[in-house]
Amino acid sequence: MNEKNGFTTPIRDSRIEAVLSRLHAVADVQEAEMAARPPDLKNRNWGPNFLKDKMIPIHREQGAFLYLLARSIRAETIVEFGTSHGLSTIYLAAAIRDNGTEGQIIGTEFVAEKMAQAQRNLEETGLARFVRIREGDARQTLRDLPEGIDMCLMDGFPPYSLEVFRLIAPRLRKGAIVVVDGTGTLREAQADFLAYLRDPGNGFRYTELPIGDGTGLAVKDA
């Protein structure tokens, strides 16, 4: 299940895989529609109404990558900028559950309908207890984060990434992992944020991997 072009999922749970499989299939159709009529990414208002009707989730391979990363560092506290319908959240919550700890994911979403859909999807997987989604603009809702965050996924709208990351970065523990979606098509839109991660003065080691639409990976050095 949840397979496309030979992709193998590391999630060995038929209930979760069934939900992921269904959601990815819907997202595939939406992605094909967007490929046929690409949204204008330049000079546009990146407010809550932009792509409101689209899930725009991470790709399956990125989900597998996130799951395995969160397992390998035994992540307990994960912050996610940009929850949408919660596909990435499901992969991360599955990892927290399978780590066998009482971990939590703090999600963020400024479209109420998307947040409600994410909540339903999480309930369907049985993983909702590991997730608290904060409704509103992450530039406000992530102002009071706990110390010692193990991992974060940066997958909100790119013009806000640096401002949001400045709220998260001081709360990341040493060795924490940062994953960035969309270092391909969204490269220009988040150039300031990517430059921040690359700058050694900011305390991160950074590289990019050809997974999904380009995936940034950073580790907090100090």
Ligand X SMILES: C[S@@+](CC[C@H](N)C(=O)[O-])C[C@H]1O[C@@H](n2cnc3c(N)ncnc32)[C@H](O)[C@@H]1O
Q: For binding to ligand X (CB under 6 A), which residues are involved?
A: 48, 56-58, 82-88, 108-111, 114, 137-139, 155-157, 160
Shortest-Cβ-distance residue relative to ligand X: 82
**Distance of alpha carbon 8 from alpha carbon 132, whole angstroms:** 28
Cα 15 to Cα 71, 127, 150: the distances in Å are 19, 10, 27
User: Residue 222 CB, nearest distance to ligand X (Å)?
Assistant: 27
Least separation in angstroms between CB 18 and ligand X: 17
57/103 with CB nearer ligand X: 57
Q: How many CA atoms lie within 13 A of 54 on its CB side?
A: 17
Closest CB to ligand X among residues 188, 221: 188
Instruction: Find the shortest distance in angstroms from Cβ 121 to ligand X.
Output: 9
- Least Cβ distance, residue 138 to ligand X (angstroms): 4
Say how far apart CA 64 and CA 102 lie, in whole Å: 21
C-alpha to C-alpha distance for 75 and 86, rounded to whole angstroms: 18
Smaller CB separation from ligand X, 37 or 100: 37
Residue from 116, 115, 166 nearest 139 by CA: 166
Closest distance of CB 86 from ligand X, Å: 6
132/174 with CB nearer ligand X: 132
Beta carbon nearer to ligand X, 208 or 213: 213
Distance of alpha carbon 14 from alpha carbon 20, whole angstroms:
10
Q: What are phi and psi of 211, to 5 degrees?
A: -115, 135
